Chain A
Amino acid sequence: MITVKKLVKRFGLKTILRGLDFEVQPGEFVALLGPNGAGKTTFLRILASLSRPSLGEVRVAGYRLPNEAAQVRARLGVVSHQPLLYGDLSAEENLRFYARMYNIADMDARITEVLDMVGLESRRRDLVRTFSRGMQQRLAIGRAVLHDPDVMLFDEPYTGLDQDASSMLDEVLKTVAAQGRTVVMTSHDLARAEELATRFDILSRGVITSSATRKQLKKSNLLTFYKEALAG
């Protein structure tokens, strides 16, 4: 579903990604872990077609970036630590706006379905600026799945959420993954990553240094694996 070969990303003289290779099979849930500045967000922005690769090959859902970016974007949902929502619009209006941008058929029914999924049906007419951070993040997930993408990218979705909001987000994330989507999530929260993901990749200094599936991890825990990967 996602194939990345020898990806390099430079900003001026600074090289962020240094020949990164990465592959995700359909239906996999990959947690991309690593320290601050490792290049996780940059990598996700390239997969989301928000940033151009300097060198290397990137394919998402069979389409090549950046040449076939529109086809990739039609099959991609992105959730970051920012909600990408308009505070002066209601929950429903935000989804209606994005539904029009994605030219979604049967818009009204889909908006209701998504609001129901993220548990915000009763607040559909309320302005987003009156929502708590957790509710905004749930609506952000609703926005991202509105067009029913095959691939979901989550960039630190738990940032700024309290315990209750994080637990609610867990439920929504599990739902999204259970629908057979391919998911890549960056996170500093190892416990949550361990609970949700089926594979764990460690990104350090611009390359994937280690990778393990949930089965392989059973012998150790994720924290030990993470520390060993960074030390190596």
Chain B
Amino acid sequence: MTVELLFWDGCPSHPKALADLREAMSDLGLDPETILIREIREEVDAAAEDFVGSPTIRIDGSDIQPAEGEPYGLTCRVYHRRDGRISPTPDPADVREALLAAQAKPNDPVDLDPSAQAGSSSR
């Protein structure tokens, strides 16, 4: 599983988002040290990365809260907490749920060694 946190330094929310992400990963037995932290510095980079705001968390390349139709740009991202509040960071429960969903996905078959599959359960 590849977990990425993309941020723009003009928005002060990424430290909290990273802390929430680390905590969720630790709780699920995942190594928070594997998080790929990437800074988006320029508008051109935001366009190239389809970066719609800071922070953005992607798991295996998928945004944990897809924002279709949002323009890319160097800005703070608006999230909605489960209780309806607007927040600069995703709800920790949503982060955890996205990680759980990614954990539950079967591995890509091309990455599997057929001899190792016998008798093993996929995660």
Q: Does B associate with A?
A: no
